[in-house]
Each structure stands twice: as C-alpha cells, then as structure tokens.
Amino acid sequence: MNRTVLGTLTPAQFLRRHWQKKPLHVKGALPEIRDRFCAAELRALACREDVESRLVTCTRRRWDVVHGPFRPGPFKQPPGTQWSLLVQGVDLHDEKARALLEQFNFVPYARLDDVMLSLAPPGGGVGPHFDSYDVFLLQVCGRRRWRIGAQRDLRLVDGAPLRILRKFQPQYELEAGPGDLLYLPPQYAHDGIALTECITCSIGFRAPTRQELAAAFLQWLPDALHLEGRYRDPGLAPQADPAAIGRAMVEQAERMLSVRWGRRHVETFLGEYLTEPKPQVWFTAPRRPFAFDAFVKQARKRGIRLSLKTRMLYRGARVFINGESIVMPVHARNAIKALANERGISFWHSRSSWATRTVYEWYRAGYVDLGS
C-alpha cells in the first residue's frame, strides 16, 4: 500500500477514524522534512517585523513570553532556563512551508490556518497545555518526547502568560524523530520536551468560537444590510411622566430591530471572514508591473500563482480573496476556481476576458504572481 503523510491511511479513513476523535502517531510520515528548515532560517524570520514570533522561557517553574521581532544573533538565556522560539505563519513567507501545508489539503482550505515552527534546545518546551483546535505536529529534526492525555480537568495555572495546565495527567508517552507525525484532536492535553536541539512543525486549523464568529458577523452586517423605514408615532398621546420611555416606543423599536438575514448574507460574510489577512500581513505590488497585454503574454508562457500570503476561497458564483468578494460570470468560473483549488496554473489560457482582467488586477495588487 502506498504511504502518504498519513502513513497507510487514506484521507477518508483518517477523517472517519481519527479526526476530532483520537490521536494518531505515524512513524516516518515525511522523512524528507529534515532538509526543509534549519535553525538559522527560524532565527532570521523571528527578526522580521512582518513575522509573528515569540520566545517562551521557563525558569524555576516560572513561565514568561517575549514577542518579537528580535535582534539578530543567538538567543542567550541564563543557566537553568528552558526556552522555545515559536515562529507563526511561516507558510506566508516560505515556499517550502506552503508546499507542506498543501499536503494536508484533505482538510478544506477554509479550515487550514498556518504553519508554525518551534526551535528548542534540550529540555525546551512550552509546558503541558491543550489546543482548542486540531493540530498536526511534525518533527523536522532532532528528537522530542511527547506526553499525551485525554483529561477532563482543563484548569489552567493562574497568572501564567500561556495556557499551562494546572494538573497534567498524561496517559502515555512517545518519542518523535525526524519525519514523525502526531495528530491531536481539540482539547487533547500534551507536553513536548526536546531531547536534543530540535525543530517541530505545527500545522494548525481555524476553529473560531461561537462568540468570535457572532461578533465578527455583527460587525460585518451593517455594511451588508440596507433597511428601509424610520421611527414614526402619528398617534402620540400626552403622557404624565415625560422622562418615561413609553411601551409603544419600545414595541416599535423592537419591531425595527428584528433584522432578518438569509443564507446569502452568511455565505458572503463567511468567505470574507475566512480570507481576511491577519493584521501583520500586507501585500507588495510589483514595482514595475507589466501592461495588460504584456502580462497576458507572460501568464500564457510562465503561468500564474497566488502569492504566499493570499487566501482564496469560493462558494457558488462568488469568489473570495483576501477579505474581498466578487460575483463571477458563468464563463469565468472554471478558471477562477482552478486557481483557487490549485493555487497556481502552469499556463494561463482562459478564454474569459473577465477572468483575465480580474487576475491582472490581482497581480497589480500583489495578490497574484507570475510563475517562474
């Protein structure tokens, strides 16, 4: 049987047996991963202002977190201090990380979040904790010991800058070497300790809380709704207490505020919300962009691809890209959907002038790059 990043399991088998149900440990899932990333690359990324990074330290059971960017050079910590350098969103800056993320596209892009890399010396870790989302932990180099438990007591250490479990109760442990993969469902307690200097890759997934989703939707809604009518009270009668809010006024306001939204509103909001770039992400337009005709010629010859930072999804006739949404004409949908699914097209040959014009505007905005 052919092996994939899931070992001998097919994506369908994994999703049925393990996804949000139980852990999975795959030995040698991706042995070539050890050559993709190195400590020097992580340190360099952690010094950049457009990269989210954190240095987690623990001295005498006291945890601390310092956010980047950091100064170039080695991270010097006092003796007896454990540390881990965490670099978030590596897939936004590194082609190798983006290619790795796409190996997990058996989960829809709408759920994929990012690739985080952590660097730790022997003894380093971020403490026993749990994540509120699914996570794949892929060992890049070095060795790490994982202790794992499906505990119900999820109380956290008071005052800690991280979500450190107060009473960690591991059920079993395993040792991960280069290329090994560990999948953990949400809220599965785990603690990873570096046995040697090591780099661990974390592939995370988006799982907003109901509160987060509702708050974002209510913030988005005013621009999408166009409500008619104005408050009126032609039958107004004198009232004895002028400062009192009358029942009729409350009832009319209640009717005016009974706002209805439909599936179309939810679909549009969700697409724009899921493709909205993170705060530290910005796009750089080409310094000397090709004119339209020259762009078309180059795209046919070299192909096009989405920028590493671009998020692109679609639903029916509507395409979403970096927080924006557009309704696609029928004749443009196949080409645009192919670009969203594959994130790149070797030879752009769409017969839709709308699709080509739209892709050209995305190119000028820095959302799309020409192929190599």
Predicted confidence at residue 24, as pLDDT, reads 97
CATH number of 208-222+260-372: 3.40.366.30
The candidate with the shortest Cα–Cα distance to 96, out of 5, 176, 201, 198, is 201
Q: Where in the chain is CATH 3.40.366.30?
A: 208-222+260-372
What is d(CA 172, CA 230) in angstroms, rounded to the nearest whole number? 64
Per the listing, tokens 């209805």 go with 260
Is 11-205 in CATH node 2.60.120.650? yes
Stretch among 75-89, 195-209, 267-281, 319-333 having the lowest mean pLDDT? 75-89
Instruction: Spell out the alpha helix ranges (H) of the chain.
Output: 11-17, 39-46, 95-102, 210-224, 247-256, 263-275, 292-302, 333-342, 353-365
- 315: three-class secondary structure by DSSP: strand
pLDDT surpassing 80 at residue 2 = no
Predicted confidence at residue 198, as pLDDT, reads 96
Predicted confidence at residue 3, as pLDDT, reads 65
| pLDDT grade for 1, boundaries at 50, 70 and 90 | very low
Q: What is the mean pLDDT of residues 258-276?
A: 93
Which sign, positive or negative, has the C-alpha torsion 221, 279, 344, 342?
A: negative
Which pTM does this prediction carry? 0.90
Beta bridge partners of 190: 129, 148
pLDDT surpassing 60 at residue 96 = yes
How do residues 33-85 score in pLDDT, each as one tens digit?
988 999 999 999 999 999 999 999 998 889 999 999 998 876 666 667 889 99
Which sign, positive or negative, has the C-alpha torsion 99, 100, 105, 109?
A: negative
What is d(CA 268, CA 261) in angstroms, rounded to the nearest whole number? 11
Q: Where in the chain is CATH 2.60.120.650?
A: 11-205
pLDDT surpassing 60 at residue 360 = yes
Instruction: Spell out the alpha helix ranges (H) of 32-178.
Output: 39-46, 95-102
Which sign, positive or negative, has the C-alpha torsion 332, 333, 338, 341?
A: positive
